Amino acid sequence: MKETETTRNRDATLDERAMLIRKMEAYEERYNPELRLLRSPFSSPGYHTTIREAEFIHSTRDSLSYALGLLDTELERYEQRAFGIIGKVVSLQDTDRSRDTFGIWSWFYEEPLAQMSPPDWNWADFCGSRLVQALARHGHRLPEALREDMIQAIDNACEAIIRRNVGPDYTNIAIIGALVTRIAGEQLGRGDFAEYGLQRLQKLVDYTRVRGAFQEYNSPVYTYIAILELSKLRAETADPLVKGLCEELLDLTWRSVAGHYHPATGQWSGPHARCYETLLHGQGRAFLQLTTRGAVRFFDWAELPYEEEWYRSGMECPAAYLGCFTDPAVKEIRQWYEGEEKNGTGRYAVTFTTPQYSIGSFTHSDFWNQRRPLLAYIDNSGSPVYLRLRCLHDGYDYCSARFKSRQSQGEVLFGIDFITNGGDTHPNLDPTGGVIEAEDLRLMLEIGGAQEGVTVQAGEDGALLVIGDTEVTLTTWFAAFSACPDPKRSLRWEMLRDERGLHLDMILYSGPRTGIHFAKLQQAAFVFSLDLQRPEPGSQPLVERSGDGLLRVGGSPDGPQDFSLSLVPGPA
């Protein structure tokens, strides 16, 4: 795409240094001069930290990001504060080579490494990246003693990263570890670090070339981090080979982002292998606006929620893909992402978009709360509505429910069954052994976003939703769940509205707390379709039981089998 007058004018409005200075000024009240650290509201994903309740904490990683931002402003008034923060965080690194936590940091000042459960070895990468960028950009400004302490801390972090040696299937840590070791090697004259960083990046490129996508397929948060960190590495390295490898991965990544963006709803189409928020909010929107230089526009530039990490990162969407962010074309993406593509075990992701909606699905998935195996975004008079399929055990996403599907344009035929060797709230951290205690177990089609004007009619065989100009048909083709039968309740979709908003639920069990032994169930499987393109009258899939305990599902009696489900739960 050639540069246009509009593009030049748009670029001219950007003053990222002014944005950075505003960001640093906004942090002023959070700086703790006694500890020389940045104070943050406490939040936790529920693992690594043993802290359960706290109003504030002091994050090592966030404090280093703040210090780097202060230095990047080039303002003399911030210099000593930045030096003090860096010195404090460096002093918190584990420097005892006899421990397996050598070279890493704890998350929080309030919680030493020995108290974490377990420590997070990613902190060698996260903290090391901030230190090595500060050294590369501002090493000439650093007091000599601090500079020597930073070099030692970077050495320690590099050793920890190399010793751990994560594989290319851990995309973001593979990238950040390559950044730390490669730039440290270039800055410090350490050929061993530099060579390791190059080889680590090369392994990621080789691994990704084969699949055409990252392991964390189409993840809004992980893709954003990959773009940010690859851009930093490209900007900081002096090696043309490293720059070229970064360029290759960045082109692949931006092609995916542009292909999945849905202009009418301003959303990142599914399916998502990892996702924290189903609707794009502040950081995600600001990232897209900044990197497309306003082709996607959510904020006035003066109000854009800028992140200090973006400064001098070089993040920018290639011109070749900018048109995808505004073009409402009908298109389909069908991407192999896991398994063996040629022997029939390959797993695929499918996304179909029109000017009114996008719908995406995985052929195989679990229901971990970070997955979005079936996800649609629909334009509701200029505002987005989303449909997200979930399976909930006592209100939380149940990982031992399994999703399989076949998608054809805007219609998804999908099934759900259960495994006995999976986890409850996490795929493998809390195995159930096939038994759970439950007061409630249900399937849910969550209807989120701008719900005004949305109508829902639920009946015995499914439901009809009208969202803006789009009709959505949810049809039940097979439903069996023999645990805790309630003769007064049939397996049907019911419309509910509560503090979670509007949703369609199929209640599998609700009552006194009881044990559900999945391996003892005579049958537990479901087949549905979700159609956004008005199904043809009389059309229905083939759903038949076989003698081997499977439920075979196909598009039509004459067509091939699309997938099979286990009627009786068992090991995956």
pLDDT for position 340: 73
Torsion region of 305: left, alpha or beta (phi above 0 gives left; psi -120 to 50 gives alpha): beta
- Residues 6 or more apart in contact with residue 119 via CB below 8 angstroms: 48, 101, 104, 106, 113
| Residue 485, pLDDT above cutoff 80 | no
Residue 104, in any domain of the structure: yes
Residue 19, in any domain of the structure: no
Q: What range defines the domain where residue 247 resides?
A: 194-326
For 44, 373, 395, 524, the CA distances from 430, given in Å and listed in that order, are 18, 21, 17, 22
Q: List, for residues 139-173, the tens digit of each pLDDT value.
A: 999 999 999 999 999 999 999 999 999 999 999 99
Q: Are residues 453 and 529 in the same domain?
A: yes
Q: List, for residues 274-314, the tens digit of each pLDDT value.
A: 999 999 999 999 999 999 999 999 999 999 999 999 999 99
Q: Are residues 158 and 304 in the same domain?
A: no
Work out the mean pLDDT of the chain and round it to a whole number: 93
Residue 300, in any domain of the structure: yes
Q: CATH no. for residue 387? A: 2.70.98
pLDDT for position 256: 96
Residue 21, in any domain of the structure: no
What total number of domains does the chain contain?
A: 3
Final residue of a structural domain among 305, 326, 347: 326
The overall pTM is greater than 0.85: yes
Whether 87 and 36 have beta carbons less than 8 Å apart is answered as yes
Q: List, for residues 362-415, the tens digit of each pLDDT value.
A: 999 999 999 999 999 999 999 999 999 999 999 999 999 999 999 999 999 999
What are the residues facing 385 on neighbouring strands?
378, 449
Whether 418 and 408 have beta carbons less than 8 Å apart is answered as no
Q: Residue 519 CB: number of other CB atoms within 10 A?
A: 15
Q: Got the DSSP string for 200-227?
A: HHHHHHHHHHHHTS-SSTT-HHHHHHHH
Q: Are residues 69 and 108 in the same domain?
A: yes
Average pLDDT over residues 166-191: 97
For 108, 397, 507, the CA distances from 231, given in Å and listed in that order, are 27, 34, 47
Residue 225, in any domain of the structure: yes
Q: Are residues 47 and 151 in the same domain?
A: yes
In this prediction, residue 10 has a pLDDT band, given cuts at 50, 70 and 90, of very low
Q: Are residues 320 and 340 in the same domain?
A: no
pLDDT above 70 covers what percent of the chain? 94
Q: Are residues 157 and 263 in the same domain?
A: no
In this prediction, residue 500 has a pLDDT band, given cuts at 50, 70 and 90, of confident
275 token code pair:
């996702």
73-82, 99-108, 418-427, 485-494: segment of lowest average pLDDT: 485-494
| Residue 74, pLDDT above cutoff 50 | yes
Residue 181, in any domain of the structure: no
| Residue 12, pLDDT above cutoff 80 | no
Q: Are residues 321 and 335 in the same domain?
A: no
Average pLDDT over residues 432-452: 96
pLDDT for position 339: 77
Q: Which residue has the higher pLDDT, 559 or 245?
A: 245
Q: Are residues 306 and 233 in the same domain?
A: yes
Q: Are residues 224 and 78 in the same domain?
A: no
Of 205, 116, 128, 115, the residue nearest 159 (C-alpha): 128
Final residue of a structural domain among 274, 301, 326: 326
